[in-house]
Amino acid sequence: MEDNQPQEKPVTQMETQSPVMEKILPAIHIKMDNQKQVTSGTTQDKATCNRCGIISSKEFSFFYGNTCGVKNISMDIYPCMVTAIIGPSGCGKSTFLRSINRMNDLIPHTRAKGRLEVNGINVYDKRTNLVNLRQQVGMVFQKPNPFAKSIFDNVAYGPRLQGIRKKSDLESLVEQCLKDAAIWDEVKDNLNKSALALSGGQQQRLCIARALATRPKLLLMDEPCSALDPLATTRIEDLIEQLKKFYTIVIVTHNMQQAARVSEWTAFFCLGELIEYDKTTRLFTKPGKKQTEDYITGRFG
Amino acid sequence: MKIGYRQAFDKTFTITAGLSVFLMVMALVIILGPMLSRGSKAVFFRGTVEFRKMQLAIFNHGSSDQVQAETARVEKAREPVYELLENFQIGIDVELLTDKTREIYRELGQQLRQMDVDRETYAAIRAKAKDIRDTLSDILESTDKDYVNQGIEVILKLSDDPDFKNTVAEQFFPLARMYGENVKNIDLTQRDQYIAALEEVKDALRKLFGPLPGESTPPMPKDRYGATRWDTAQQSLHQLLWAQAWVETKPGESLEKISVRRDDPQKGQFAGTSLEPLFSLVENNLDDMLQPEFTIYWRYFLDDWVNSHYFGGVGSEIIGTLLLTLLSMMFAVPLGVISAAYLVECADENMVVKIIRTCVNTLAGVPSIVFGLFGLAFFVLFLFPRLNMPSKPCILSAALTLSILVLPVIIRASEEAIKSVPQTYKEASLSLGAGRFRTFVTVTLPAALPGILTGIILSLGRAAGETAPILFTGAVAMGPQPKSLFDGVKTLSYSSLDIATGDRLAMMAPHKQYGVIMTLIILVLCLNILAIIIRWRVAKKLRGY
């Protein structure tokens, strides 16, 4: 319950905000609903939640020019769970992950086919508001990439984009996010220090805090621990464990132990195709496909 | 054996690298060293009393009491020189003497009328005086020494005449006596040559000590003062002491130029004359006559020039250069950064962008004079009249032309800098919901700033030093400081060109020419250092430690 406690704070804070702010921040309200549901929810609620996916993709394919990145992916990702995506290099894990918040748009000559929905919104619709989408879908990258600004400004970057300018609001929000990302105790004394002066693990947790600050519903993690040492990895994994109570997390990882440790669901990708998608315990103990078994036992890849 | 080779290679490489660095430094020293050392003479030199007088009169720098005391001292030291000159002149300058004789005669008439003497005496005295006058005039015109001596004797006999007692006519006799003395050692047939040589001597003396006593103030400030510097004083002294002459050494061969001291006992122009002691007097007492002191003329960088750089400093040029450089940067930097941002962030790699990029690269290699002519044709003659602005070269057109000149450099550097910002920075910002413009302004631009500043540093130096683009578009050699964007501007680069090509100033005051160049070098260096410090601070802030 101690972890839930801080989450109450932003709720009350948001409720007291002006109507103008409400208009600006639809994403936050969606998040708020989600949060209330979770914080007040029982295991029963969670179970009902699981049935409808927060991300649902149907026959989704993505192309780089003429090369196919992923093809015909059909899967649902359930809220308030950790979903791990594993697979050999170049199998389309990252492509799929980055399609969810359309980060692949940066690459020229790409196109998507099929349907990919986040919370009922078609991601690859021309009318989709990218800003709203990306504020709902936070992302943590492979390498820690804090901005060359102070720790405070790094975390406050997202909220400021949403129009939160009041210093006290920002301060409480930043503190909350840093606490959620389990880095508050390490940086609380020098929030004005440059983020680049932190260690790699700290930077990665700061990036997570920065992603949390936009109040997303979803957190995409693209191999968040690949550049970190085992100790920092442990801390991030602990963090994921705590965050999954409030956020839906999709994590791409090369480390099968990590997938087994942190995730509830696991998807196995190979050569751009989804081979198998199942509960983690089942996938790792009784894989349904030969390819999966080969991969997780280390006979292939 | 293989390792031996490798080590040898390694050593060779190190030595070559060290050598090339050393050569570069040496080249820099060889190029800049002489300029700086010569230019420093504009600031560090031995200034004479004339310099201090000039500074006080023109710029009102220095203490007036001290200068007055010094002036009194040097005037006392110079007195014998002028005395010698005047005495000699009496023997040579016939016209002056003739005038004087006539004047004495005229004054005598007036005096006699006032003295209330009777008619006969008056007529007698006048007749006698007239005789003296006529004889004197004859003597002065004659070139025959014997005739002159006889005439003088005749006149001097009359000196005891009681009629002339206490009259102006007494002045005839010292005049005649002095002329007789002077003429003794002079070849009267060569009088014209003496006059010419005397002019040279007087000229050199004017250069040394300023206008001769009794002369009116010259219109040009540079003629109002003597040698302000010890090195120019030495040159003028040489001019005073040595005469140039073309001599036929062997019959039938071309003439040879030789230098002869004017007071040389055998060949000197003034050998044996009453002027002879003047030369050694000046040579030996020049210190007392000019009172040289080591001077640090730091106001060189603040003072305006006087008499087209003959005196004064380069203050107005420094301000003009800074104004022009900063103005051109104000146009070029935003334009360049925006262009670079467009090329990197917005434009696809299509044909048009490739052509634009090629154009930018080509533009960087276009000779600067082409930009100057373009600026004249486009801004001054085409654009300004159509915008109802005065169609004349001005600081605005010069700044615009310079900004076009440096634009390719800024675009190239900014493009590289923006490209080198890690993609993950942009991704992080975009994933937080920022738009592309906001991402560029808040994330990409700050991260690219050190690289962009490098481009700005490069172009700052270029803009400050370029002459050709501003030659037709706004640089002026003289004139007041620009008061609006439509006035001409004085710059260091253009001034150095003007001094070098404009008149004989480069020869008369080489220290000023090199001084301008030295100032330009120092200015560009300071601008660069400033920009480097800013870049370092920005980079440090970005690094975070």
- Report pLDDT for A14: 40
Is the same domain home to B437 and B533?
Answer: yes
Share of chain B above pLDDT 90, in %: 17
Is B433 in the A-facing interface, judged by CB distances under 8 Å?
yes
Comparing B241 with A24, the larger pLDDT belongs to B241
CA atoms within 13 A on the CB side of A9: 16
Domain boundary among B130, B150, B184: B184
Extended strands (E) in B117-263:
242-247, 256-261
> Is residue A38 situated within a structural domain?
yes
Query: Per residue, what are the HEC states of B109-141?
Result: HHHHHHHCCCHHHHHHHHHHHHHHHHHHHHHHH
Is A120 in the B-facing interface, judged by CB distances under 8 Å?
no
- Report pLDDT for B543: 74
Is the same domain home to B120 and B263?
Answer: no
B544 interaction partners in chain A (CB closer than 8 Å): 148, 193-197
> Is residue A47 situated within a structural domain?
yes
Share of chain B above pLDDT 70, in %: 98
- Report pLDDT for B78: 87
Paired tokens of A22: 């409400």
Per-residue pLDDT averaged across B157-180, rounded?
Answer: 76
> Is residue B219 situated within a structural domain?
yes
> Is residue B218 situated within a structural domain?
yes
Comparing B271 with A293, the larger pLDDT belongs to A293
Q: Give the DSSP letter string of A112-172.
A: EEEEEEETTEETT-TT--HHHHHHHEEEE-SS----SSBHHHHHHHHHHHTT---HHHHHH
- Report pLDDT for B201: 86
> Is residue B498 situated within a structural domain?
yes
Neighbours of B542 (CB within 10 A): 17
**Could you report the per-residue pLDDT of B78-101, keeping only the tens digit for each?**
888 888 888 777 767 777 778 888
Extended strands (E) in A45-128:
55-64, 67-77, 82-86, 110-118, 121-122
> Is residue B420 situated within a structural domain?
yes
Question: Which of A139, A145, A173 is the best residue to mutate to test the B interface, defined by the most B CB atoms within 10 Å of its own CB?
Answer: A145
A147 interaction partners in chain B (CB closer than 8 Å): 425, 428-429, 443
> Is residue A85 situated within a structural domain?
yes
Q: What is the largest CA-CA distance in chain B?
A: 130
What amino acid occupies position A50?
N
The β-bridge partners of A251 are: A84, A221
Domain boundary among B151, B184, B217: B184
Per-residue pLDDT averaged across B462-468, rounded?
Answer: 89
Is the same domain home to B421 and B338?
Answer: yes
CA distance B425 to A203: 13
DSSP helix/strand/coil, A70 = strand
DSSP helix/strand/coil, B17 = helix
Contact B438 A161 (CB under 8 A): yes
Q: Is the distance from CB of B328 to CB of B463 less than 8 angstroms?
A: yes
- Residue range of the domain that includes A293: 4-52+77-103+129-297
Is the same domain home to B402 and B534?
Answer: yes
**Min Cα–Cα distance to chain A from B447, Å:** 7
Paired tokens of B375: 């600026």
B434 interaction partners in chain A (CB closer than 8 Å): 131, 157, 161
- Residue range of the domain that includes B323: 311-543
CA distance A113 to A72: 9
- Using the predicted structure, report yes or no on whether residue B518 has a pLDDT greater than 50: yes
A174 interaction partners in chain B (CB closer than 8 Å): none
Is the same domain home to B203 and B165?
Answer: no
> Is residue A88 situated within a structural domain?
yes
φ and ψ at B176, to 5 degrees? -65, -40
> Is residue A186 situated within a structural domain?
yes
CA distance A279 to A286: 10
Is the same domain home to B319 and B286?
Answer: no
CA distance B291 to B285: 10
Q: Which residues, other chains included, contact B162 with Cβ-Cβ below 8 Å and sequence gap of 6+? A: none
- Report pLDDT for A32: 41
Comparing B368 with B349, the larger pLDDT belongs to B368
> Is residue B297 situated within a structural domain?
no
> Is residue A70 situated within a structural domain?
no
Is A197 in the B-facing interface, judged by CB distances under 8 Å?
yes
Is A173 in the B-facing interface, judged by CB distances under 8 Å?
no
> Is residue B439 situated within a structural domain?
yes
Tokens 């199998």 map to which residue? A91
CA-wise closest residue to A262 among A233, A298, A226, A227 = A233
Is the same domain home to B374 and B491?
Answer: yes
H or E, element range at A218 = strand A218-222
> Is residue A240 situated within a structural domain?
yes
- Report pLDDT for B338: 93
Q: Is the distance from CB of B296 to CB of B498 less than 8 angstroms?
A: no
**What value, to the nearest 5°, has the Cα angle with vertex B465 and ends B459 and B468?**
105
> Is residue B26 situated within a structural domain?
no
> Is residue B298 situated within a structural domain?
no
Q: What is the number of domains present in chain A?
A: 1
CA distance A276 to A271: 13
- Report pLDDT for A33: 43
φ and ψ at B174, to 5 degrees? -60, -35
A118-132, B157-171, B265-279, range with greatest mean pLDDT:
A118-132
CA distance B545 to B540: 6
Is the same domain home to B195 and B162?
Answer: no
- Using the predicted structure, report yes or no on whether residue B208 has a pLDDT greater than 80: yes
- Report pLDDT for A15: 40
Is the same domain home to B268 and B344?
Answer: no
DSSP helix/strand/coil, A17 = coil
**Min Cα–Cα distance to chain B from A272, Å:** 23
DSSP state of B233: H
What amino acid occupies position A75?
M
Nearest CA in chain A to B539: A148
Q: How confident is the model at residue B545 (pLDDT cuts 50, 70, 90)?
A: low
φ and ψ at A116, to 5 degrees? -135, 120
- Report pLDDT for B14: 95
Strands A67-77 and A55-64: antiparallel
φ and ψ at A141, to 5 degrees? -95, 170
> Is residue A122 situated within a structural domain?
no
The β-bridge partners of B324 are: none
Is the same domain home to B140 and B239?
Answer: no
- Report pLDDT for B399: 94
Cα distance from N-terminal residue to C-terminal residue, chain A: 42
Extended strands (E) in B265-416:
293-296, 305-306, 311-312
Per-residue pLDDT averaged across B266-277, rounded?
Answer: 77
Extended strands (E) in B376-522:
none
CA distance A62 to A71: 6
The contacts found for B499-504 with CB under 8 angstroms, 24 or more apart, are: B499/B309, B502/B308, B502/B477, B503/B308
**Could you report the per-residue pLDDT of A20-73, keeping only the tens digit for each?**
444 443 444 444 444 444 333 334 444 444 445 688 888 888 988 888 888 888
What amino acid occupies position B332?
A
Q: Using only C-alpha atoms, what is the Rg of chain B? A: 37
Q: What is the side-by-side strand order in the sheet with A67-77?
A: A67-77, A55-64, A110-118, A121-122
- Report pLDDT for B401: 94
Is B350 in the A-facing interface, judged by CB distances under 8 Å?
no
CATH number of the domain where residue A36 is located: 3.40.50.300
**Could you report the per-residue pLDDT of A115-141, keeping only the tens digit for each?**
888 888 888 888 888 888 888 888 888
**Min Cα–Cα distance to chain A from B432, Å:** 6
What amino acid occupies position A7?
Q
- Report pLDDT for A50: 45
Q: What is the number of domains present in chain B?
A: 3
H-assigned helices in B64-118 = 64-92, 94-115
Q: What is the side-by-side strand order in the sheet with A137-140?
A: A137-140, A218-222, A248-252, A82-86, A265-270, A273-279
**Could you report the per-residue pLDDT of B420-448, keeping only the tens digit for each?**
988 888 888 888 888 888 889 888 998 89
Is the same domain home to B164 and B224?
Answer: no
CA distance B475 to B385: 19
- Report pLDDT for B55: 87
CA distance B282 to A146: 79
Q: Is the distance from CB of A222 to CB of A142 less than 8 angstroms?
A: yes
Question: Which of B349, B432, B445 is the best residue to mutate to test the A interface, defined by the most A CB atoms within 10 Å of its own CB?
Answer: B432
Residue of A108, A138, A148 lying closest to B431 (CB–CB):
A138
| Averaged pLDDT of chain B | 85
B426 interaction partners in chain A (CB closer than 8 Å): 106
Is the same domain home to B282 and B342?
Answer: no
- Report pLDDT for B372: 92
Domain boundary among B257, B290, B323: B290
- Report pLDDT for A301: 52
CA distance B326 to B460: 8
- Report pLDDT for A31: 41
A 124-143 residues inside an 8 A Cβ radius of B: 130-132, 134-135, 137-139, 141, 143
- Report pLDDT for B376: 92
Question: Which of A129, A134, A192, A212 is the best residue to mutate to test the B interface, defined by the most B CB atoms within 10 Å of its own CB?
Answer: A134
